[in-house]
Amino acid sequence: MTLVDPVTARDEVLRVDGLHVGTQNLRLVSDVSFTLSAGERVGLIGESGSGKSLTAAAIMGLLPEGVHASGSVRLAGVGHDLVGASVRQLAAVHGAAMTMVFQEPMTALNPAMRVGDQVAEVMLLHGARPDRRAARAAGVELLAQVRLPDPGQLARAYPHQLSGGQRQRVMIAIALANGPSVLLADEPTTALDVTVQAQVLELILTGVAERGSALLFITHDLAVVATVCERVMVMYGGRVVEAGPVHEVFTRPQHPYTRGLLDASDLASADGRLRTIPGTVPAAGRFPAGCVFRNRCPSASDECDERPRWMERAGGGYACWHPVGAHA
């Protein structure tokens, strides 16, 4: 797949089409479609439970037991769809063309293996280094690149001997080891001490920039999205309700939910008042049948009992019958 994105003029590296995720009884993510181009940084935001992590897990083919995906996930250079791919096909992609950094690195690292061996292993597995010795040396180099102190010594440590920030740096080294086309980062700094959050974010940004990787960045921090991302997707109730260039979406949001998120964020706290979006997020799979935001939306009308169509605008769009921009 070597399509060129008409908006960015860069090679498209990931195409997600009509992605649905659910259990036997619950629809958890519905009809998510987007593309990522080489080197592009895209934010994925939305309140807790909106479906961000499940979307990323479905793209990676790492859904929990009993949760299934349908639709299509195509990665450049991979000849088959990742939805429905075999364990073997997915293993060939993970750690190479597409990688992921999680909120809690301990869950992704092998507790019984020295961290240097874990970095070397991923290089050996995907052929980036032909032998164990060369892979070990390259692994130590990579640990130095993610600015771990005394990387030669640290390579011999086990994950539990490291701090949370150091473990996340190891995870980032593993994720970047083979120069992925796509890096999915799911709240990679949330669990870390505030003093190291900015450093870890900087490592991710430098790492993807040097490798030309596309970044899908899941976060609750809208200020970070405003600073580091070019595009943003806003999720609610398992659906993308608005998407587009960050500047456009953050300065002229069309969806009442995006408006609410911005009002509740630090970006809009100039008057010092903390706000939240009124109402509570329905339980998984219990969102209204029409517009998913219907029971919390200040602009709702009878029309909203029907699912809103996706309205295209400036490099993105939104799904709302009464966009806020229309009566702003």
Ligand X SMILES: Nc1ncnc2c1ncn2[C@@H]1O[C@H](COP(=O)(O)OP(=O)(O)OP(=O)(O)O)[C@@H](O)[C@H]1O
The residues binding ligand X (CB under 6 A) are: 23, 28, 46, 48-54, 64, 67, 284
Q: State which residue, 155 or 240, has the beta carbon closest to ligand SF4.
A: 240
Are 266 and 223 in contact, with CB atoms under 8 Å apart? Answer: yes
User: Within positions 96 to 155, which residues make up the interface with ligand SF4, using CB under 6 A?
Assistant: none
Are 191 and 104 in contact, with CB atoms under 8 Å apart? Answer: yes
Verify binding: residue 299, ligand SF4, rule CB under 6 A.
yes
Look up residue 221 and give its DSSP letter.
-
Least CB distance from residue 88 to ligand X, whole Å? 24
Are 29 and 22 in contact, with CB atoms under 8 Å apart? Answer: yes
Separation between Cα atoms, residue 282 and residue 322, nearest integer Å: 22
Q: State which residue, 124 or 233, has the beta carbon closest to ligand SF4.
A: 233
Least CB distance from residue 225 to Mg ion, whole Å? 15
Query: What is the 3-state secondary structure of 103-140?
Result: CCHHHCCCCCCCHHHHHHHHHHHCCCCCCHHHHHHHHH
Verify binding: residue 320, ligand SF4, rule CB under 6 A.
yes
Verify binding: residue 293, ligand SF4, rule CB under 6 A.
yes
Residue 24, binding choice from ligand SF4, ligand X, Mg ion, none, Cβ under 5 to 8 Å by partner class? none
First-to-last C-alpha distance (Å) of the chain:
41
Verify binding: residue 159, ligand SF4, rule CB under 6 A.
no
Decide the pairing of beta strands 231-236 and 41-45. Answer: parallel
Separation between Cα atoms, residue 121 and residue 5, nearest integer Å: 34
Verify binding: residue 294, ligand SF4, rule CB under 6 A.
yes
Verify binding: residue 308, ligand SF4, rule CB under 6 A.
yes
The DSSP-derived string for 24-60 is: SS-EEEEEEEEEEETT-EEEEE-STTSSHHHHHHHHH
Residue 293, binding choice from Mg ion, ligand X, ligand SF4, none, Cβ under 5 to 8 Å by partner class? ligand SF4
Separation between Cα atoms, residue 290 and residue 292, nearest integer Å: 6
Least CB distance from residue 311 to ligand SF4, whole Å? 10
Verify binding: residue 234, ligand SF4, rule CB under 6 A.
no
- What number of helices (H) and strands (E) belong to the chain? 10, 11
The number of residues that bind ligand SF4 (CB under 6 A) is 13
Separation between Cα atoms, residue 52 and residue 32, nearest integer Å: 11
Q: Rounding to the nearest 10 degrees, give the CA dihedral for residues 100, 255, 315, 52.
A: 10
Piece in contact with ligand SF4 (CB under 6 A), picked from 46-54, 86-94, 181-189, 314-322: 314-322
* Amino acid symbol at 71: G
Least CB distance from residue 53 to Mg ion, whole Å? 3
Residue 308, binding choice from Mg ion, ligand X, ligand SF4, none, Cβ under 5 to 8 Å by partner class? ligand SF4
Residue 259, binding choice from ligand SF4, ligand X, Mg ion, none, Cβ under 5 to 8 Å by partner class? none
Q: Tokens 């953050």 — which residue?
A: 250
Q: Which residues bind Mg ion (CB under 5 A)?
A: 53
Verify binding: residue 277, ligand SF4, rule CB under 6 A.
no
Least CB distance from residue 205 to ligand X, whole Å? 21
Verify binding: residue 297, ligand SF4, rule CB under 6 A.
yes
Q: Which of 159, 180, 256, 316 binds ligand SF4 (CB under 6 A)?
A: 256
Buried-state track 148-180, b at ≥16 Cβ within 10 A, e below 16: beebeebbebebeebeebbbbbbbbbbbbbbeb
Verify binding: residue 322, ligand SF4, rule CB under 6 A.
yes
Which residues contribute to the site for ligand SF4 (CB under 6 A)?
255-256, 291, 293-294, 297, 299-300, 304, 308, 320-322
